[in-house]
Copies of this chain bind each other. A is one copy, B any other.
Amino acid sequence: MTKPVEPDAGAAETAPLSVPDRLTAAATRLFAEHGFERTSVQELVEAAGVTKGAMYHYFTSKDDLLFAVYERVLSMQTRRLAAFAEAEGPVARRLHQAAADVVITTVDNLDDTLIFFRSLHMLSPARQSQVRKERRSYHELFRSLVEEGAREGAFRTDVPPDIVVSQYFGAVHHLGMWYHADGELSGAQVGEHFADLLLASLRT
């Protein structure tokens, strides 16, 4: 058995995922459910259908696993934002699209983003600063769109762009606290409303 286990050998779910993928998937679910500290390595590996030996073969520590969960969603969102920022068209439209999109990717990965802000402080200082650095460049990319609109006269100039971005992302990052997939509004609908409110708040 080089990579996949034989079908239907494990517990409930036995998709042919690799062992590291099974571990990150189980970690995402359990960390979001009980929190990072309340989830023991033992129950984590049992949920993933592997053993501790397997986990410590691929990850150096429990923190490392948390970090891997962070990286996945953070790099994905950064890539998407860059694509919207570099696109053609008026800045108001690009900002609206980017703002709505980050809501959609956030609700599509609600567990990850919930863990993100709940457990960042559990990471080693080195890992924390690495995550913060990535988060910061993400913030700055978004801010550059706001500044571009302000220069062009499309947006108001009496509120610091940093405040605008911090306010918006604060709202997005808090989605994990209240949004439920089985609620009235889809992620796309919430994204539209959020983006509409953002653009309205920036009108001259």
Q: Which residue numbers of A lie inside 8 Å of B, CB to CB?
A: 34-35, 37-38, 117-118, 121-122, 156, 158-160, 163-164, 166-175, 177-178, 185, 190, 193-194, 196-198, 200-203
Copies of this protein in the complex: 2
* CB pair B121 A35 closer than 8 Å: yes
Residues on B with C-beta less than 8 A from A122 are: 35, 38
Interchain nearest-CB distance for A144 vs B (Å): 18
Chain B residues positioned under 8 Å from A37 (CB to CB):
35, 37-38
Output the nearest chain B residue to A160 by Cβ-Cβ distance: B193
A33 CA to B170 CA, complexed, in Å: 20
Distance (whole angstroms) from the CB of A176 to the closest CB of chain B: 10
- Taking a contact as CB atoms closer than 8 A, the residue among B34, B35, B174 that contacts A171 in the complex is B174
The smallest beta-carbon distance between A117 and chain B, in angstroms, is 7
Contacts of A175 in B (CB 8 A): 170
A35→B38 CA distance, assembly (Å): 12
Q: Which 4 A-B pairs have the closest CB atoms?
A: A170-B174, A37-B37, A170-B171, A201-B201
> B194 contacts A163, CB within 8 Å?
yes
Min CB gap A146→B, angstroms: 12
CA distance in complex: A38, B122 (Å): 8
**Contacts A160-B193, A164-B197, A171-B174 hold; do A34 and B121 have CB atoms under 8 A apart?**
yes
With the chains together, A190 CA to B165 CA distance in Å?
A: 12
Name A177's contact: one of B117, B171, B193, B198 (CB within 8 Å).
B117
A192 and chain B: residue at smallest CB distance: B159
Contact among B166, B174, B203 for A200, CB-based, below 8 A? B203
Are B193 and A159 closer than 8 Å at their CB atoms?
Answer: yes
Is the beta-carbon distance between A168 and B171 smaller than 8 angstroms? yes
